[in-house]
């Protein structure tokens, strides 16, 4: 690795071969680990390029000549004109780099060097595969070396030999805004927690409902974490003594407070793994009592979930939901739960609908949980599933209408 300044970086950049569409593809760290300083510097040098990032946050360069590309749409790309969305389960995204989406430049956000290595810190995810694909085809790998990036272990450790150029910065990592756990989220969290036993393995995302679930699990013991991501709620579980102290906490990326970042820094219990490991359904299924908790925008009477599209437009993507639903259902004692509000407060509509008219993200979870109750799904006939959803998950104000629609769908 050669250390350069931001000013000198532009003079070092050469793209060995154009992408298939003629514009170089730049793959960058997503989530809260976007290396903004280096991305901006590269943007000043390349008049046209494709920018590939997973769950990109705000702050990416937006101008003519830059095409946004992703398999999971974040707020930084959601309103991008000409967005290129590539549908893919998260476990399969790394394979794109050796097939349809070869990288010409990979920009990662890492810790400062230590003992011949840097750490990808809070964002491992698809990046090891991107680096390997870049090295195999002679493409550039650039690291934004941040003194404030925590050093994590596992697949996050990258040899300096794998990096062409390093640029030193000293900037704090972003943290999500604090999410208040309201009464509805708390009720959903309590209902989900009822189904989680001591010794279960957990996968949860971020937001009011996952936070509420974790807050309701502090009295459990021997819990394990195998998740594509975790946030501050896991730290609170550890402080409450709910986690198995002998089991590593497995994750692929982190998203949380400065306190969380300090906790994971050089913490030997935290093992950051690449997406192909965390999201491989067979690996997920190997965990005892794997309990996957995800959410959805809407669920229909066939127990099909839409978690990705709004009014015909892509909002997010498959993410890891399909991977973890399949893995959890095959785990001994496992369960896949979809947790959501029964009524969407902003849209003022029911989230339990007769029939989804968007592409389906997933289907056949173990149970659907709302603040109204728990609707068991797996193992029941389609008529029983519809009955449980109407009577135990839907808002009372929509139940008569749903029964009418169920009769029209021959679900009664």
Confidence bin at 364 (pLDDT 50/70/90): confident
314 in the same domain as 216: yes
Q: How far apart, in whole angstroms, are the C-alpha atoms of residue 73 and residue 319?
A: 9
Q: In the numeric block, which tokens belong to residue 15? A: 């793209």
Judge whether residue 16 has pLDDT over 60: no
Express each pLDDT in 102-139 by its tens digit: 999 999 999 999 999 999 999 999 999 999 999 999 99
Other Cβ atoms within 10 Å of 37 Cβ, number:
18
Answer yes or no: are the C-beta atoms of 285 and 261 closer than 8 Å.
no
178 band by pLDDT with thresholds 50, 70 and 90: confident
Indicate if 18 and 45 belong to the same structural domain: yes
Q: What separation in angstroms does the CA of 365 have from each of 41, 153, 269, 329?
A: 45, 33, 31, 8
257 and 286 assigned to the same domain: yes
Residue 49 in this model has a pLDDT that exceeds 60? yes
Q: Which of 268, 273, 270, 262 is nearest to 228 (CA)?
A: 273
Instruction: Show the tokens assigned to 166.
Output: 């390093």
Give per-residue pLDDT as tens, 208-244.
899 999 999 999 999 999 999 999 999 999 999 999 9
Residue 15: the pLDDT is 67
Distance CA 127, CA 120 (A): 8
Residue 176 included in any domain: no
Average pLDDT over residues 4-10: 93
∠ at Cα 252 (184, 132), nearest 5°? Answer: 150
pLDDT confidence band for 20 (50 / 70 / 90) = low
Residue 3 CB partners (closer than 8 Å, separation 6+): 165, 166, 167, 168
In whole numbers, what is the pLDDT of the chain averaged over residues?
Answer: 95
Q: Which of 69, 162, 228, 358 is catalytic?
A: 228
Query: Of the residues 131, 146, 169, which one is the last residue of a structural domain?
Result: 169
Q: Which domain holds residue 74?
A: 2-169
In a domain, 246, yes or no: yes
pLDDT at residue 19, rounded to an integer: 53
Same-domain check for residues 224 and 130: no
| CA–centroid distance for 221 within its chain | 26
Co-location of 235 and 307 in the same domain: yes
- For residue 100, which phi and psi values (nearest 5 degrees)? -90, -15
Residue 208's pLDDT is: 87
Nearest residue to 223 (alpha-carbon basis) of 250, 195, 246, 202: 202
Residues 99 and 35 in one domain: yes
* Span 36-56, average pLDDT: 96
Which tens digits make up the pLDDT trace of 65-115? 999 999 999 999 998 989 999 999 999 999 999 999 999 999 999 999 999
For position 320, which CATH number holds? 3.40.1080.20
Mean pLDDT of 192-199: 97
Q: Please report whether residue 175 resides in a domain.
A: no
Domains held by the chain: number: 2
pLDDT at position 67, please?
97
Does residue 18 register a pLDDT over 60? no
Would residue 25 count as lying in a domain?
yes
Q: Is residue 312 part of a domain?
A: yes
For a pLDDT cut of 90, what percent of the chain falls above it? 91
**Claim to verify: residue 188 and residue 78 sit in the same structural domain:** no
344 — pLDDT class (breaks 50, 70, 90):
very high
Residue 228 a catalytic site member: yes
Residue 26 has what pLDDT? Answer: 97
At 167, phi and psi to the nearest 5?
Answer: -120, 125
Tell me which residue of 117, 127, 362 sits closest to 252, measured CA to CA.
127
User: Does 232 lie in the same domain as 163?
Assistant: no
The answer to whether residue 141 sits within a structural domain is yes
Of 115, 146, 169, which residue sits at a domain end?
Answer: 169
What CATH number does the domain containing 28 carry? 3.40.1080.10
Last residue of a domain, one of 120, 143, 169: 169
In a domain, 174, yes or no: no
Domain presence at residue 177: no
For residues 215 and 269, membership in a common domain is answered with yes
110, 119 contact by CB (below 8 A): yes
Average pLDDT score over residue span 186-214:
94
Looking at the structure, tell me whether residues 223 and 343 fall in a common domain: yes
């Amino acid at each position: 690795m050669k250390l350069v300044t931001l000013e000198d970086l532009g003079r070092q950049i050469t793209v060995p071969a154009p992408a298939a569409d003629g514009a170089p593809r730049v793959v960058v760290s997503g989530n809260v680990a976007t290396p903004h300083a280096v991305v901006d510097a590269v943007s000043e040098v390349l008049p046209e390029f494709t920018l590939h990032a997973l769950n990109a946050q705000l702050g990416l360069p937006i101008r003519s000549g830059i095409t946004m590309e992703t398999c999971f749409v974040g707020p930084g790309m959601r309103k991008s004109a000409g967005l290129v969305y590539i549908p893919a389960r998260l476990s399969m995204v790394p394979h794109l780099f050796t097939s349809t989406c070869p990288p010409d430049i990979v920009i990662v956000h890492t810790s400062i060097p230590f003992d011949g290595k840097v750490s990808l810190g809070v964002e491992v995810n698809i990046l090891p595969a991107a680096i390997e694909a870049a090295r195999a085809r002679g493409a550039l790998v650039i690291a934004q070396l941040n003194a404030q990036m925590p050093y994590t272990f596992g697949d996050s450790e990258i040899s300096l030999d794998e990096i062409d150029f390093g640029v030193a910065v000293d900037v704090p990592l972003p943290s999500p805004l604090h999410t208040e756990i309201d009464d509805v989220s708390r009720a959903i969290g309590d209902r989900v927690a009822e189904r989680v036993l001591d010794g279960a393995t957990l996968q949860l995302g971020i937001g009011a409902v996952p936070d509420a679930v974790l807050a309701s699990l502090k009295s459990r013991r021997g819990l394990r974490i195998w998740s594509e991501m975790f946030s501050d709620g896991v730290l609170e579980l550890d402080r409450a003594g709910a986690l198995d102290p002998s089991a590593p906490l497995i994750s692929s990326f982190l998203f949380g407070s400065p306190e969380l970042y300090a906790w994971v820094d050089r913490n030997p219990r935290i093992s950051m793994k690449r997406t192909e490991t965390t999201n491989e359904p067979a690996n997920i299924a190997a965990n005892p009592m794997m309990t996957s908790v995800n959410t959805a925008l809407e669920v229909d009477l066939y127990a099909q979930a839409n978690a990705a599209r709004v009014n015909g437009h892509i909002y997010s993507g498959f993410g890891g939901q399909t991977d973890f639903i399949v893995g959890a259902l095959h785990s001994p004692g496992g369960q896949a739960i979809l947790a959501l509000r029964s009524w969407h407060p902003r849209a003022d509509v029911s989230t339990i609908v007769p029939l989804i008219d968007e592409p389906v993200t997933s289907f056949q979870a173990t149970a659907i949980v709302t603040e109204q109750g728990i609707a068991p799904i797996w193992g029941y006939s389609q008529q029983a599933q519809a009955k449980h959803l109407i009577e135990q998950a839907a808002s009372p104000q929509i139940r008569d209408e749903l029964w009418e629609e169920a009769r029209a769908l021959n679900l009664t």
